[in-house]
Amino acid sequence: MPTDHDALAEPVLPGDPGPEPLAVTRLVAVALDEDLGPAPGRDVTTQATVDASARGRADVVARQGGAVAGLVVVPEVLDQVADRLGLDRVAVTWHVRDGAVVDAGTVLASLEGPTHVLLVAERTLLNLVSRASGVATHTHRWTRELAGTDARVLDTRKTTPGLRALEKYAVRCGGGTNKRMGLYDVAMVKDNHVVAAGSVRAAVRAVRARFPDVAVQVEVDRPEQADEALDAGADFLLLDNMDTATLAATVARVRAREGAAGHVDLEATGNLTLDRAREVALTGVDYLSVGALTHSSPVLDVALDLDPRSVTAPPSASSAAPSTAEEPVRRP
């Protein structure tokens, strides 16, 4: 991502590298193409009604309380828009960082620069921050529910196409953790793989032979399958769609074998809800994986408020004369 904003405080979640920069660059480029048309694109309303030399200030404001995520992509959106329009880049002042839990009305960032850049970037910027903050807020609810247990909430691969890096970062901003980024970094042996390979043992051996560098997880839905998976050499187990009693029995069965084999990570998944989260965590599993974190989180309402008193343009630009209103313009 561009480094023009490096002199300012970074908004990235403390201790986190943030989403992969190339993924952010690609995501923003595609999002802007959708909104403006192929690069450089155009905003026919802003470019017709606002003088190209006008400058202004705007605040990014949380309309709802929640956990913040996605601020890290704001400079990329602003910089790509500025480059497309051939205008100066926008200066950003950060008031909070990703991962902060804020009240409604909190100003997240203040922007100052060409008014064209502010208005053209607005919807793309808000879409990404609102989406990421919604995921972080939902994850934060699960994190609070699991407080005091040894379990953590995990995401899955059920992400929005093109948004995986951002959505998984948002899960981390909400206090959750990532399971695997894709099909390439962890092997997960499920029932169809067992059918194709002939057995759990054969499937695990095949992965070990072809991709010795990856961890191997095996899905089980009955306690006795856990023994088969451990005998086959699985690194961790996915305990799928088990009721609480069966889950507890399976955890006890696995833990009883750990003296010789060492700790085995156990992940509960399937039909997990917030009202059941704590009882599942107390069975002794290490993780609860929740696809809904990324596929069903509502967005957090975030807005861009342009201060009309800040908009400046040459006196001849009468068609773009600034408003005399005293309150910032609140746009949907």
Residues with a known catalytic role: 123, 158, 190, 219, 240
Sign of CA dihedral 322, 78, 129, 158: positive
H/E run at residue 246: helix 244-255
Q: Which two tokens stand for residue 232?
A: 């086959």
* Spatial distance between the Cα atoms of 60 and 63, rounded to a whole number of angstroms: 10
Neighbours of 189 (CB within 10 A): 23
Whether cis (ω within 30° of 0) applies to the bond prior to 40 is: yes
Is the torsion defined by CA of 79, 84, 90, 95 positive or negative?
negative
* Distance separating alpha carbons of residues 258 and 8, to the nearest angstrom: 49
Round to whole Å and give the CA distance between 241 and 83.
Answer: 50
Specify burial of residue 29 (Cβ count, 10 A radius: 0-12, 13-18, 19+): middle
Contact 45, 320 (CB under 8 A): no
Burial class (CB in 10 A: 0-12, 13-18, 19+), 28: buried
